[in-house]
């Protein structure tokens, strides 16, 4: 068994500090994922937003705009080698409310999720810029940018006329880790988006 001095030395090791921080974040996120499941009658329901209504959280403000299902990704066309492919797209306007740029595959992809029929959260497979359909890179502070979140769907998927998405809260903690570094940490589910889904499966090329 390790003595007291060995335990203190291990606790001060930066590698162990980082591992502990990652484990703590994973535990919090795992716990939070259950928040989009069907709430009990005694639970307070999450606020619900429709298309065009802005949700403002800590790190991001998100305005859902429209959603559709198609046989191609935004800006693409039907895959002639696999015409059965389906994609569900949620177009949103995102504003980075932090002082620094963050990657499009970071907070947006982690925090804006599809709520499945079994009430489980599903992260988007791809995040594209709506204007040129390029992969979303850095999202800059206080700059509103329109992006398309894309989910790869199973073949013969039957989409709901109105689909539910969820968004997690993310707030700044001045001392987020053992070494006192600050960070924007994902918190509990904060809101739901209920958006009509347009069916574009009869089109071969993106509009």
* Model confidence pLDDT, tens digit, residues 140-175: 898 899 999 999 998 777 778 999 999 998 888 876
Between 7-16, 59-68, 74-83, the lowest mean confidence (pLDDT) is in 7-16
Q: How confident is the model at residue 198 (pLDDT cuts 50, 70, 90)?
A: very high
Q: Which stretches within 131-206 are classed as H helix? A: none
Tokens encoding 116:
């499945």
Residue 27 CA to residue 15 CA, distance in Å, equals: 19
- β-pair type (112-115, 121-122): antiparallel
């Amino acid at each position: 068994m390790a003595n007291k001095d060995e335990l203190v030395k291990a606790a001060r090791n930066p590698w162990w500090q980082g591992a502990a921080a990652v484990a703590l974040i994973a535990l919090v996120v795992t716990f939070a994922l259950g928040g989009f499941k069907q709430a009990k009658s005694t639970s307070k329901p999450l606020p619900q937003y429709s298309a065009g209504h802005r949700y403002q959280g800590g790190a991001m403000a998100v305005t859902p705009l429209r959603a559709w299902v198609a046989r191609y990704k935004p800006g693409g066309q039907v895959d002639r080698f696999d015409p059965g492919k389906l994609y569900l797209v949620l177009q949103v306007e995102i504003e980075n409310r932090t002082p620094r740029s963050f990657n499009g595959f970071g907070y947006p992809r982690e925090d804006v999720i599809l709520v499945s029929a079994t009430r489980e959260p599903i992260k988007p497979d791809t995040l594209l810029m709506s204007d040129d359909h390029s992969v979303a890179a850095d999202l800059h502070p206080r700059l509103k940018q329109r992006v398309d979140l894309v989910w790869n769907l199973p073949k013969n998927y039957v989409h709901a006329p109105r689909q539910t998405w969820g968004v997690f809260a993310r707030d700044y903690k001045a001392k987020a880790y053992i070494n006192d570094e600050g960070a924007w940490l994902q918190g509990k589910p904060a809101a739901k988006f209920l958006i009509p889904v347009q069916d574009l499966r009869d089109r071969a090329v993106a509009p």
